[in-house]
Structure 1
Amino acid sequence: MQKNAPVGVLDSGVGGLSVLKCLRAALPQEDFIYVGDTARTPYGPRSEAEVRRFVGEIIDYLAGRGVKLVVIACNTLTVLGVETLKGSHAFEIVGMSKGVQLVLSASKKKKIGVFATEFTINSGAHKAAILEADATAEVYPQACPKFVPLIEGEQFGSGAVKEAVAEYAVPLKADGIDTLILSCTHYPFIQKEIEREFGGEVTVIDPADATAQEAKAALAAQGLLRSEGAGCLEVCFTADVERGARIAGRVLPQDKCRFKEVKL
């Protein structure tokens, strides 16, 4: 592996751009190649076999681009087990942080809500990780299938988003949560709407910063951190590049990005 090689980042669509923003802030000297599979999003309702095939194709593409590390900027893919996605590739893979210590530190009542896709919720991974760290915690998972299509459809600030947030908040409010983790990388795009719905009594946590720090640590451990220069961003989508670029503009400087369509 070469220090000057790029870092690969992948997601089922545009959600991972929220993680790319944090990666760029943590590693400004690194080059990044982002692949969002906008042609086949959302992954949440799909079968495990289908999801594994899709992510394998993206990882193979990034391997062909000579990346030194891959960040799985998608909770749905992370719960599959990042090592099982690696195949024979030499580079390390970093998945999304479950944010366990973040939520336990923030939650005074240890009543924690989880917003995620159906696939992630059904895996039970986040609940298990939190309870393993603190058996006294109470964890309330909530699948939010309407969120990803609304975000991919650029329905930011719309009535439909507000209605969906209110719908999914009802059971968690009844459970009396004081902390909520956004366990889908799409959800930070509507974090303000979520925070407004729950009010100041609930702390809403995005684990993307923790993920970026884990990626930085992985590079440092292998002696692969670039020490100088200003990194560039290549942002790729499998369909709807113009839409992807508009959404990217909400979290990334467009003048620093090169947008392109890729076929897998």
Structure 2
Amino acid sequence: MKIGFFDSGIGGLTVLHQAMQILPEEEFLFYADSEHVPFGEKTKEQIIRYTDEAVQFMLSKGVKAVVIACNTATSVAISFLRSRYKIPILGIEPAVKPAVEECAGKRIMVMATPVTVREEKLKNLIARVDSEHRVDLLPMPKLVRFAEAGNFRSPEVTAYLCSQLAKYDLRNYSSLVLGCTHFNFFKDTMQEIFPSSVDFLDGSEGTARHLADVLKQNDLLEHHPQTVEYYRSGCKITAPEELERIRRLHQRLERMRFIRRGAASDDCSELKSM
């Protein structure tokens, strides 16, 4: 039986990619709801409906567990899904807790979609772990559209990041928390902007490891040659050019997996001048 992964677009590949490293003998199904991407600009009711439809589709394919590999869908729909379905349903949340634990008195920046920033789930998480109010939330709606267009490194992307960050003194930060799975694709661009003192954190690896634990606890681990099926809004992806595009995205994620912190000068004057 397969493990289902769901996202509004390509962002969930970041979690799938980690799971493929940790669970090399499992079969996977990845569902991207590209008809409705980006979720960060949708209503709560729309997100719940789209996510529920995707879970029903994956259940029709016989999945044994589902990972909602989308921070926005997790924040809005995870409670509804868990109340409705019997199989294990895992979500992903921004890695705020480890960022706070490692902040050493400095500030923490959390980049996310507008919906994730507004939702009570993230606010409650921050309230639980950030007693000294060190977390700053930064909505970044355009990054999802850049990612879906395959635009990860360009003057346009750099200019957008710099414009959104211009009012912050990045030297005051210990961590950048990537609160949307799409944002992992931009680590090399972000590395050129953030000082070398800033660590990059996201929930993808932790979610994949939690998945492995849940499968073990429920006696759901299997041993098969690893396979992945990819679907776009209910249609299986079989075209060679589309599968090649996905292969290149995995290659990029493998490179991004090893970028853990910024590399720019600790002098932020260049950023402020952009």
Tell me, yes or no, whether TM beats 0.5. Answer: yes
Alignment pair present for 1:105 and 2:101 = yes
- AA partner of residue 163 (structure 2): E
Instruction: Name the amino acid aligned to 1:120.
Output: T
Q: Decide which structure has greater helix share.
A: 2
Paired residue type of 1:230: P
1:103-252 equivalence runs, <5 A: 103-173=99-169, 176-226=172-222, 228-238=223-233, 242=241, 245-251=244-250
Task: Determine if contact 2:96/2:177 at 8 Å carries over to the other structure.
Answer: no
- List, as ranges, runs of 4+ consecutive aligned residues in structure 1 with deviation greater than 4 Å: 239-245
Q: Could you tell me how far apart the structure 2 residues matched to 1:15 and 1:107 are?
A: 26
Spell out the pairing of 1:74-113 with structure 2 (5 A cutoff). Answer: 74-86=70-82, 88-113=84-109
Q: 8 Å contact 1:83–1:93 — kept in the other structure? A: no
Using a 3 Å threshold, how does the CA distance of structure 1 residues 249 and 87 change in structure 2: closer, same or farther?
farther
- Over the aligned positions, Cα root-mean-square deviation in angstroms equals 2.2
Distance 2:171 2:117 in 1: 17
Give the partner amino acid of 1:179: S
Structure 1 CA distance for aligned equivalents of residues 242 and 185 of structure 2: 15
Aligned to 1:46: 42
Q: Distance in 2 between matches of 1:130 and 1:155?
A: 31
* Matching residue of 2:261: none
Calculate the TM-score normalised by the size of structure 2: 0.84
Deviation for aligned residue 1:102: 2.4
Deviations 1:81-105 (A, max 9, x none): 5131235322110000332332123
- Change in 2 beyond 3 A, CA 1:65/1:87: farther
CA distance in structure 2 between the aligned counterparts of 1:240 and 1:193, rounded to whole angstroms: 32
Percent of residue pairs identical? 27
Quick one: structure 1 residues 171 and 218, their matched pair in 2 at CA, closer, same or farther if it must change by over 3 Å? farther
Gaps of 5+ in 2: 253-274
- Contact conserved, 1:73 with 1:96, CA < 8 A, in 2? yes
AA at the equivalent of 1:237: R
Deviation at residue 128 of structure 1 after TM alignment: 3.1
Pick closer, same or farther for the CA change 1:190–1:9 going to 2, 3 Å. same
What is the distance in 2 between the residues matched to 1:243 and 1:170? 37
Distance 2:120 2:173 in 1: 18
User: Counterparts of 2:104 and 2:243 in 1: how far apart (Å)?
Assistant: 38
The SS at the match of 1:251 is: helix
Deviation at residue 63 of structure 1 after TM alignment: 0.7
Shift in CA distance, 144/247, structure 1 to aligned 2, threshold 3 Å: farther
Counterparts of 2:141 and 2:191, CA distance in 1: 18
Contact 2:171 2:195 in 1 (8 A): no
Partners in 2 of 1:163 and 1:244 — Cα distance?
Answer: 31
Name the TM-score, length of structure 1 as normaliser: 0.87
SS at match of 2:14: helix
* 2:15 paired with 1:19: yes
C-alpha separation in 2, matches of 1:244 and 1:113: 35
Task: Measure, in 2, the Cα distance between the counterparts of 1:94 and 1:172.
Answer: 34
Q: C-alpha distance in 2, partners of 1:174/1:20?
A: 31
